[in-house]
Amino acid sequence: AQSVTQLGSHVSVSEGALVLLRCNYSSSVPPYLFWYVQYPNQGLQLLLKYTTGATLVKGINGFEAEFKKSETSFHLTKPSAHMSDAAEYFCAVSGLRGSNYKLTFGKGTLLTVNP
């Protein structure tokens, strides 16, 4: 079974500040991990994913995440927040090895960027 915990349902940062969204997972198999973003009135969009190989994964819009097996974490970061980053972010783990579906999601973190 899999589970995902996102620490902080709401994170607020200033424009230009570091963005850090936390995600811890539990998985009975080696995990495939994902971060999705939902902008207002839009669908979920894939930001980045970890499957195998390099543990530091780079995604779109300057975001990156690092898979740390020992900490069972997959935190999302961006060095400098932009107003357009305001959205809800979801961490997810794949329920089936080698599959992109049957994702188990966290509860989401709403990111606010202040001018």
The CA distance from 65 to 6, in Å, is 14
- The tokens describing 73, both together, are 């974490």
Q: List b or e across 60-95, with b for residues whose CB sees 16 or more CB atoms inside 10 angstroms.
A: eeebbbebeeeeebbbbebeebeeebbbbbbbbbbb
Among 4, 13, 19, 65, binds other proteins (CB under 8 A): 4
Smallest separation, CB 53 to other proteins (Å): 12
Among 7, 17, 44, 86, binds other proteins (CB under 8 A): 44
The yes or no reply on residue 100 touching other proteins (CB under 8 A) is: yes
Q: Which of positions 71-90 make contact with other proteins (CB under 8 A)?
A: 90
Q: Which is nearer to other proteins, 18 or 29 (CB)?
A: 29
The CA distance from 63 to 60, in Å, is 6
The yes or no reply on residue 101 touching other proteins (CB under 8 A) is: yes
The yes or no reply on residue 95 touching other proteins (CB under 8 A) is: yes
The answer to whether the beta carbons of residues 102 and 45 sit under 8 Å apart is no
Smallest separation, CB 67 to other proteins (Å): 13
Q: Which amino acid is at 104?
A: T
List interacting residues with other proteins (CB under 8 A).
4, 32, 36, 41-46, 49, 51, 90, 92, 94-95, 98-108
